[in-house]
Structure 1
Amino acid sequence: MIAVIISAIIFMVMALVTIWLFSPKFRSWAEQPKYTMLKRNDMFERASYDELNSTGKPR
């Protein structure tokens, strides 16, 4: 039973890797959360930096 589960997981991972390699649209969709998080992180860091420079002390 465990062998079937592991085989299914390996098959799904290999299918996703293959799709990721050959489909730029899927690749951009799969990686979008990373870029969204990086953009938000940059926005928060910039706001914190601006606030620190304008008030002289952190909140």
Structure 2
Amino acid sequence: MQILIIAEKPSVAERIASSFGNASKLMDGKASYFEINLKENHHDYARIFFKQA
């Protein structure tokens, strides 16, 4: 699977990529869904939902 991440700042893209990497390790075929919430100064600035087919 390939995922393209487009973000305004490289640091945001790196955090998203890191979250996907961590989540994929947790999924290992058992989970079919996960959500990533990125926060900065206690405010959500990105919510990503991923569903495994």
TM-score, structure 1 normalization: 0.36
More helix by share: 1
Larger Rg: 1
Q: Which has the higher contact order (CA 8 A, sep 6+)?
A: 2
More strand by share: 2
TM-score, structure 2 normalization: 0.40
